[in-house]
DNA sequence: GACAAAGTTGACTATCTTTATAGAGTAAAA
DNA sequence: TTTTACTCTATAAAGATAGTCAACTTTGTC
């Protein structure tokens, strides 16, 4: 389950992908537009800044902006930054693998073997979708739908 | 992210799928074999019983057993029982859909539209894998691998 | 057959960690 | 000197786990 942190973070990133390049958006503005508690969003954007996804500027005319064009930002990596690995279980993660302490032989752990496949499936969606594609989905731009996945 | 509850529950179900039909397994036994805190497993098996996945018998010779043959139990439904919907986000769930309060027009919510695809991908793995297939994966039975998914 | 004893699950509480949020105030830029 | 991001602390809810005792079921024994 995606936490609210990642959900809010993704919404904020989509918002930022929607402002004209070079311009900034205020935290208060993003929070109001997306119904996100402002203080929480403060912390989330802080993390995204530390991870290098966004830049910030203080003072009048300040705010947040994307650090890179939205085509170059993968949705999966945003989620990883805020919620940790995509894998449903740590021992099935490729980026932040960690052995389960409650597993004698992990090569034969049925749960892990199934979750490896689940991880693969999730990553296949999130890592192949860019922030820009995600934004267009929400904008009702049908041209991306085929790229991202079948119509539901 | 799968909670420990679901992880432990799945391990217990695999364990139960491994005992001879008609026989039971003790909570203490399952807990020891899989390194699960016994008390926690008590509660988990209680939920699985209420959901109709397992039967329990008290007293000497008692214990837990599967309520149905493991071929008829979907991994996805076990996870749903213990952790709730598979969808990373409630508004993308098909079984327990609930509207996001922080979303004006959900048909245009970029986050939801991406997560619908993620949900689809997860369900495609977990709902098409039976408990028996999962057990065989862990048992090193290669014959199921092609059915369940590509080799990793 | 009655009854105690032992083996089990089941239910209720309590504690600790993580998630989600709020408040008040600090630092920097224009 | 106003406007904005940033930090620090605090609090409430949910998840994860342990402890205690109650309820039930078999099994032996007198």
Alpha carbons B57 and B151: distance in angstroms, whole number: 39
- Going by C-alpha positions, the residue among A43, A12, A14, A46 that lies closest to residue A29 is A12
Are B34 and B40 a contacting pair, CB within 8 Å? no
* Chain B interface test: which of A79, A113, A151 (most B C-beta within 10 Å): A113
Q: Give the model confidence (pLDDT) of B51-106 as tens digits.
A: 999 999 888 888 899 999 999 999 999 999 999 999 999 999 999 898 888 888 88
Q: What's this model's pTM, rounded to 2 decimal places?
A: 0.91
- Domains of chain A, by residue range, sit at 4-66, 73-148
Domain covering B4-66 assigned CATH 3.40.366.10 in the classification: no
Alpha carbons A47 and A52: distance in angstroms, whole number: 9
Alpha carbons A18 and A15: distance in angstroms, whole number: 5
Please provide the average confidence, as pLDDT, over all residues in chain A.
Answer: 91
Output the pLDDT for position A103: 81
Output the pLDDT for position B105: 87
- Which pLDDT band holds residue A152 (cuts at 50, 70, 90)? very low
**Res. A144: pLDDT tops 90:** no
Q: Which residue has the tokens 């290669």?
A: B142
**Res. B150: pLDDT tops 60:** no
- Which pLDDT band holds residue B151 (cuts at 50, 70, 90)? very low
Q: How far is the CA of A109 from the C1' of D13 (A)?
A: 33
Alpha carbons B83 and B6: distance in angstroms, whole number: 6
DSSP annotation of A91 = G
Q: Give the model confidence (pLDDT) of A86-113 as tens digits.
A: 999 999 999 989 888 778 788 889 999 9
First to last CA, chain B: 20
Output the pLDDT for position A140: 77
- Specify the range with the lowest mean pLDDT, choosing from A67-81, B71-85, B128-142: B128-142
Residues with Cβ within 8 Å of residue B20, at least 6 apart in sequence: none
DSSP annotation of B20 = P
**Strands of chain A, DSSP E:** 54-57, 63-66
Contact with chain A for residue B122, Cβ under 8 A:
yes
Q: Give the model confidence (pLDDT) of A10-56 as tens digits.
A: 999 999 999 999 999 999 999 999 999 999 999 999 999 999 999 99
Q: What's the sign of the alpha-carbon dihedral A25, A29, A35, A38?
A: positive
Q: Which residue has the tokens 């039976």?
A: B130
- Which pLDDT band holds residue B152 (cuts at 50, 70, 90)? very low
Q: How far is A58 from chain B (nearest CA, A)?
A: 27
Are A11 and A36 a contacting pair, CB within 8 Å? yes
Run of H or E including A79: helix A75-83
Contact with chain A for residue B12, Cβ under 8 A:
no
Contact with chain A for residue B142, Cβ under 8 A:
no
CA dihedral of residues A127, A48, A93, B11 (deg, nearest 10) = -110
For residue A120, list chain B residues with Cβ-Cβ distance below 8 A: 125, 149, 152
Instruction: Write the CA distances from B79 to A98, B14, B48, B62, B122, integer angstroms.
Output: 22, 13, 10, 25, 11
Which SS3 state, helix, strand or coil, does residue B37 take?
coil
- Which pLDDT band holds residue B147 (cuts at 50, 70, 90)? low
**Res. B111: pLDDT tops 90:** yes
* Pairing, β B63-66 against β B54-57: antiparallel
**Res. A143: pLDDT tops 70:** no
DSSP annotation of A74 = B
Q: How far is B3 from chain A (nearest CA, A)?
A: 8
First to last CA, chain A: 21
Alpha carbons B113 and B7: distance in angstroms, whole number: 27
Q: Give the model confidence (pLDDT) of B28-59 as tens digits.
A: 999 988 988 898 998 999 989 989 999 998 88
Alpha carbons B52 and B49: distance in angstroms, whole number: 5
- Which pLDDT band holds residue A125 (cuts at 50, 70, 90)? very high
Can you read off the two tokens belonging to residue B14?
Answer: 């695999």
Alpha carbons B12 and A76: distance in angstroms, whole number: 31
Output the pLDDT for position A70: 97
pLDDT cut 70: percent of chain A above it? 93
Q: Which nucleotide is nearest to B57 (CA to C1')?
A: C9
Residues with CB under 7 A from strand C: A 3-5, 8, 37-40, 43, 57-62; B 26-28, 39, 42-43, 45-46, 49, 56-64
- Specify the range with the lowest mean pLDDT, choosing from A21-25, A46-50, B125-129, B145-149: B145-149
- Which pLDDT band holds residue B20 (cuts at 50, 70, 90)? confident
Q: Which nucleotide is nearest to A7 (CA to C1')?
A: C20
């Amino acid at each position: 389950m995606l936490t609210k942190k990642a959900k809010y973070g993704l919404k904020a990133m989509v918002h930022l992908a929607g402002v004209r390049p070079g311009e900034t958006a205020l935290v208060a503005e993003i929070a109001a537009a997306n119904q996100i508690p402002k203080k929480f969003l403060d912390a989330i954007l802080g993390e995204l800044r530390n991870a290098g996804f966004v830049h910030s500027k203080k003072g009048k005319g300040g705010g947040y902006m994307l650090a890179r064009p939205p085509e170059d930002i993968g949705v999966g990596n945003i989620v990883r930054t805020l919620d940790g690995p995509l894998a449903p279980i740590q021992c099935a993660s490729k980026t932040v693998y960690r052995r389960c302490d409650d597993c004698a032989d992990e090569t034969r752990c049925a749960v892990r073997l199934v979750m490896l496949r689940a991880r693969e499936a999730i990553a296949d969606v999130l890592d192949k979708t860019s922030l820009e594609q995600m934004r267009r989905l929400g904008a009702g731009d049908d041209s991306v739908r085929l790229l991202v996945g079948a119509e539901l």
